[in-house]
Every structure is written in C-alpha cells, then in structure tokens.
A and B are shown apart, each in its own frame.
Chain A
Amino acid sequence: MNIDIETIKKISHLARLELKPEEEQQMSSDFAKILDWMDQLNELDTSNVEPLMHMHQGVNVFRKDIAKNELTKAEGLFNAPQKNEDYFMVPKVKE
C-alpha cells in the first residue's frame, strides 16, 4: 500500500507532530508496511460479525448524581506548566 506525503502531512498535523522532510519519507514507508500487515486481516470475511467496541461485556455502569469537589483550585493548578493564581495559561489561541 502506498501512502503519499500529503496523507503523512495530514496525519502528523492531526497528531500535532512536526516531521522533517526526511522523516516524512521514512514515515511514509513505515506506514505502508503497517497497513500492509493490517491488511491481512481483510482476508477474513467479517461481514456477519458485529464490531467489538469493548473488551468487557458489562453495560449500564452508572454513577449517582451526587456532587463532591475532590480537588481544590491550588491542587488542580499544581502541575500546570503555566498558570497564575486562578487560571491555566496556554499560548494565545485566538488569531
């Protein structure tokens, strides 16, 4: 299977990965190998098999609607790379 550079650019953008041109080439051939390998699964006819969404068979796992605050503001902000006394801070996202 052939994965073109455009597709690689798109996927790396969606994953927020910055690749150098030579890495894109490498990624393209690696990707093709992975997809070829996965493609073997298509040899099986799964048209009558429901997709498996969960490894566990349980359903209806609910929580009662009870509020409790388990984290203070200071605890919540503790590990933030950038913060002030009230807010998490990130580089400006609005143009």
Chain B
Amino acid sequence: MEYDIVIGLEVHCQLFTESKIFASDANKFGGDPNTHISVLTLAHPGVLPKLNEKAVEYAIQLGLAFDCEINKFNFFDRKNYFYPDLPKGYQISQDKSPICLGGEVKFKIKQGKVFSSHTVKIHHIHLEEDAGKSIHDLNPNFTYLDYNRAGTPLLEIVSEPCMTSPLEAASYLAEIRKMVRYLGISDGNMEEGSLRADLNVSLKPKGSEKLGTKVEIKNMNSIRFLQKAAEYEIERQAEILNNGGTIIQETRSFDPDQGKTFGMRVKETMNDYRYFPEPDLAPIVLTDEEIKEAKVNMPKLPYELFETFSKEMGILEEHAYLLTEERALCEYFLETSNFTKNYKSVSNWILSSIKGYLNENNMEIIDFPVKPSKLAELIENIDKGEISNSAGQMLMSLLISSPESNIIALAKSNNLIQSKDTDAMGSWIDEVLTQNATKVEEYKKGKKGLIGFFVGEVMKKSKGSADPKVINSLVADKLK
C-alpha cells in the first residue's frame, strides 16, 4: 500500500537576551550550576514576574520574518504540572493568545544542481519559559537540579502538519536556524539545546483526507538526526500498517547510535494542564506603530537577499544560496559590492579563496582581516589588467598578513604587477619552446591541448606577473 507522509514540527528556540524572560538573572548557557538564579527562578513565595521587553521584540521580529499575523492583544497562561525542573508547579506559556499567528517559512532545497522551492505553513508562534535541567546520573537515589536554564525565554514555533518528506522537515528546521541567526535573536546552537524540535509523523493512505494516528518524537537536537528519525519512523509505521496493525498514539525517542525510535515508557499520569490566564502578568497590547518599528530594526532576510543576488546582481543561484547561508557572509558581499560592480568576481572570491581560508583556519568571516574595500580594490586591479588572476591569489595571501598595505605597492614590491612587456614575454616563450621541443612537435601534430602546458611554463618564468590571455595568443601565434 502507498502512503502519504505527514510531518509537523514543534521547534523550541531559546532567545539571545541578556536576562531571563520574567526575571533579571543572566541568560547564559552552561556556567557553574545554580549561579544564574533568582528568587523568581526558584519560585520563592510572594515574588512577581516582570516581562522582558526584548523577548517580545524578538518574537515580533521572527513573526514578521515568517509573514505571520502579529497578535495585538496577548496574555500569558499557566500550564500546570508538577516536575522538579519547574519549581513553581506551572510553566508560564501562551495558550489562548500566541504572539504570532499563521505565516509561512519559504526555503529552497538543493538536490544536485537543482533547486526546488518549498513553503511550510506555520500554525502559530508563542512565548514561554524554559525549564531547569535535571541530572539523573550523578547519584543513584537522587535527581540533581540546576536552575540556570529555568526561565530562559523560548519561542515555540508550531508548524501545520504539512511537510511531506524527512528532507523537507530537515530543511525547514535548517531554515528556522538560519533565520534566527540572521535576525540575531538566537544562536541556534542545537548541540547546546538553543534550538530543539519535537517531530510529529503520521501516515495516511495515498490521497486520503483523514489524518492517520501521529507519533511524536521528542527533543531532536540535530538536523541530521531529525531527518533520520523521520525516515525510520515512516518505515516503522508503514510496516505496521502493511501488516494490518494500528499505530498507537505515543511519544517516542530517537537513539542516534542505533538509528531507531523507541517508545518512551509513559506513566498513567492523567496529565491535564488546566491552563488559565496568568494573573501575575499584565497583557501585552501592541500597536501598528510598534510592529512597524520592529520591522525597521530588522536586517534584510535571506530569501530577499537570494532574490537580489540572483536576479539583480547576476550571481549564480548556487552561489547566491551559499552566500545567504550566513548573514555575515551576505554583509561582507554587499559591502564589497559597494566598491566594485564586478559582483560575480566578488562572489567567487568570497566563496572560493576566502571561504577556503576561513575553513582552514577555523575562522568566521567577521574575523577575516582583509576589509571589503580592499577586496574590491584587488578585483578592480585584476579587471584593469594590472594584476593577473594568479598574482591576485598571491596578493590575497600577502594582504591577509598585512591587510593595510597599498595593493599596487605590495604588488610592485613582490613583482606581481602584470607584465605588459611583450619583449620579455617573447623571450620567455622562446625559452620554453626550445626547452620542450618534443612537446612542440606533438602540438604541431595536433595535440592542441598542450598550449595550456606552454602557457603554464611561461607563467612560471614570469613568476605570475604575465597575463595568461596575452601569453596564450602569443604562443599560439608562434606555433602556427
């Protein structure tokens, strides 16, 4: 039997604020246990929460980035349950009035050289607080609690059950990570748990309207694992259904070592969250002006930049895709493009030499020593024929060690100015041709590909200062 795959995701994203959502203790990953705490975080009696305005601003920005409707009247709700990582006995969340409604995440998936466009609908995004961390393995009889994380602002982004493949789900999560980093509202670090996802998977007979029973896989902390878990779960459910079985609605966990999901032993807790409006926090009323203002403070978004790069600046889609992976890369590209119109060359430089250097040195583009204006100057000099491409590469490595140098002076002192001296070139060419007489014979007999070899040899003699195009035509003339 054939099935339609239905996937939905609940993504939790920790916000990059200085302080917690309802208290002023520091919002920082790690740290000595129980050092980022306050009477609020520890739920001492008689304390009152006060909402961090930054958390609201960040929520609005993410909502605008995904084209959500921003809810102009929101309040918080209490979600009641007992668990020691939550000392109050309830989590402050938004149940009835999430800050963002609807919206969609648009992204591209690249398979080989082909891009496909995808849109995933968002159900809503709401604000809530993270819980503390329980540590079960330090003592056989006790659970240890570290409340550093308790009260960290979280956005929960709930998608519609509209994804149809594990790859699409993984790419959707990757797009959310990219967006929160772009906006600078979260570090999106999945290893540290800043971004985590619950995955809902179900199958229904092909073409059927009715959704199948869903299974939830909790706390996925890697995009790759999310995709694997979804793949495994689809196979597992299809096998059960093909054998005439039924899917049990349950929560499962994914073991990356085995690549399998396992049912979690759920106790009959009769959970009932008994949500009710949080009486300790005043509602938030937002005006159109405030929403507009949040928009003004936002950077250009990756999909907007992709369009600008590929449609207006003539950058290959493949390159535009790579450039828009990271905001800092886009900024470097855009800044360089203020100084030169050769956008293609700028993109080539960034994606090959500069990225190569950054990867080799495990460095970020913001720490790259050569300023965009310098790169533009280098490109202009290559375009004017002052410097050859290969000399340009050498100059770049020289610039990395002395980024303030004047390019022409640096090229001169290192003999990298492109030689326009055809006499010198002529004598280099003669030398090369005499030294390689047998190859010259082969060339004359029709092995025309050897021209590249001759040009290369002449380039060596010129120490990179000659223009390979000029040499090419001079060599071809000589060998006629």
Contacts and interface: CB of A to CB of B under 8 A. Distances in A.
A60 B282 contact: yes
Contacts of B56: 62
A14 B272 contact: yes
Contacts of B274: 14
A51 to B, nearest CB: 8
A58 B17 contact: no
Contacts, number: 137
Nearest to A92: B143
B142 A82 contact: yes
Name A's interface SS. loop
Interface stretch (B31-39, B399-407, B464-472): B31-39
A87 B144 contact: yes
Name B's interface SS. loop
A62 B26 CA distance: 17
A86 B32 contact: yes
Interface string A7-41: 00010011010000000000000000000000000
B326 interface: no
B143 A94 contact: yes
B193 interface: no
A73 B35 contact: yes
A9 to B, nearest CB: 9
A65 B272 contact: no
A5 interface: no
B83 A67 contact: no
Contact of A71 (B19, B38, B80): B38
Contacts of B82: 16
B210 interface: no
Given A66-B18, A73-B32, A89 B283 contact: no
A76 B53 contact: no
B270 interface: yes
Contact of B53 (A13, A16, A63, A77): A63
Contact of A69 (B36, B142, B285): B36
A72 B33 CA distance: 11
A49 interface: no
Contact of B135 (A10, A13, A14, A87): A87
Interface in A45-68: 51, 53-56, 58-68
B267 interface: yes
B84 interface: yes
Given A76-B37, A90-B142, A64 B53 contact: yes
Nearest to A76: B37
Nearest to A86: B33
A60 B36 CA distance: 26
B265 interface: yes
B141 A91 contact: yes
A43 interface: no
B34 A73 contact: yes
Interface string B139-162: 111111111000000000000000
A68 to B, nearest CB: 5
Contacts of B17: 65
23 contacts: A53-B279, A59-B282, A61-B50, A62-B52, A63-B52, A65-B53, A66-B19, A67-B19, A67-B25, A68-B25, A70-B39, A76-B42, A82-B142, A84-B144, A86-B34, A86-B146, A88-B84, A89-B139, A89-B144, A91-B143, A92-B141, A93-B136, A94-B143
Interface of A: 10, 13-14, 16, 51, 53-56, 58-73, 76-77, 82, 84, 86-95
Given A67-B27, A86-B33, 15 more contacts: A10-B270, A13-B269, A13-B270, A54-B283, A60-B282, A60-B285, A68-B19, A68-B25, A69-B25, A69-B26, A73-B37, A86-B146, A88-B34, A88-B84, A93-B134
